[in-house]
DNA sequence: TGTATGTGCAACTGGTTGGTTTCTCAAAAT
DNA sequence: ATTTTGAGAAACCAACCAGTTGCACATACA
């Protein structure tokens, strides 16, 4: 059972859930109302997201509020870092090229 | 057949391939040498990556060099943008809190 | 021309995944 | 005390996925 962030955000429904609870913590029922699938299906997604620590629970009576662990999202950002260096250097190269053209 | 960037980067082998050819364009055989799986398996990954335009081919005789489409990687960065706003505002809140404590 | 090499494609396979339905359990409400 | 409500867990299923082996085809080389 592979369970990492990249696999977690691969599913569009899960990405939608993440975006939803990023705004404010919500219960499974409230989340499920935004989708066509059943609450149980949403619950499964929440379980996966919880397992890779992208979200956390907050019990309040019999209700459970799910909240985004924004810190964990930074791990994706961290992975992107290596490529950001490339696209920034490409941009710099283009910049230098444009400067050279202007000089002529 | 769902084929988007997020599903493409969900697989660890594909992420490794991306990181590999980010440095320099490579042929399928050369890429496959870096992994335990067969060339055909790598070829399948390359097909998926090509389909969602994360990489592009460059034919050279009978060899095919695969190259990263760095621009496409920015789409992940773009999706992260909405969360970056959140974690930056959280940081700002913490900053203000620390400033308030110091004043006391 | 015949052979070796680089590559993609098709068929098959076991494991995973996303979904459903059914069940259980605890907390609220009546 | 009984019923309603919110939620997770288990069993099941169709679809998908990552890998394999085998094959086809083009290019390079002898």
Q: What are phi and psi of B63, to 5 degrees?
A: -95, 150
% of residues, chain A, pLDDT over 90: 78
B89 Cβ contacts chain C strand, under 7 Å? no
- Assign residue B61 the CATH number of its domain: 1.10.10.10
Q: In chain B, pLDDT over 70 holds for what percent of residues?
A: 95
Minimum Cα–Cα distance from B3: chain A residue: A10
Per the structure, how many domains does chain B have? 1
Rounded CA-CA distance A64/A28 in Å is 7
> Does the CB of B43 sit below 7 A from strand C?
yes
Spanning CA of A65 to C1' of C14, the rounded length in angstroms is 38
pLDDT of B63 above 60: yes
Q: In this complex, is the C-beta atom of B81 within 8 Å of any C-beta atom belonging to chain A? A: no
A67 touches strand D (CB under 7 A): no
Q: Which residue is nearest to nucleotide D28 (CA to C1')?
A: B62
Among A31, A51, A53, CA closest to A42: A31
What per-residue confidence (pLDDT) applies to A64?
Answer: 98
**B65 against B97, higher pLDDT:** B65
How much of chain B, in percent, has pLDDT values that exceed 90? 78
Distance (Å, whole) CA B102 – CA B32:
57
Residues comprising chain B, all counted: 104
Q: What is the pLDDT of residue B42?
A: 98
The CA–C1' separation of B98 and C22, in angstroms, is 52
Backbone angles phi, psi at A100, to 5 degrees: -65, -45
Structure confidence at residue A103 as a pLDDT band (50, 70, 90): low
Write the pLDDT tens digit of every residue in A77-87: 999 999 998 88
Is B73–A79 a contact, with Cβ atoms under 8 angstroms apart? no
pLDDT exceeds cutoff 80 at B67: yes
Q: Domain range spanning residue B93? A: 5-103
If pLDDT is split at 50, 70 and 90, which confidence band does A52 have? very high
Chain A contact present for B71, CB below 8 A: yes
In terms of phi and psi (left: phi > 0; alpha: psi -120 to 50; beta: otherwise), the region of B35 is beta
């Amino acid at each position: 059972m592979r369970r990492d962030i990249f696999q977690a955000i691969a599913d569009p429904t899960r990405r939608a859930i993440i975006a939803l609870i990023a705004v404010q913590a919500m219960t499974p029922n409230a989340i499920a109302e935004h989708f066509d699938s059943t609450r149980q299906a949403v619950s499964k997604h929440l379980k996966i997201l919880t397992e890779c620590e992208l979200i956390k629970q907050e019990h309040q009576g019999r209700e459970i509020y799910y909240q985004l662990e924004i810190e964990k999202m930074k791990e994706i950002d961290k992975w992107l870092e290596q490529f950001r260096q490339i696209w920034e250097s490409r941009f710099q190269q283009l910049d230098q090229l444009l400067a050279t053209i202007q000089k002529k």
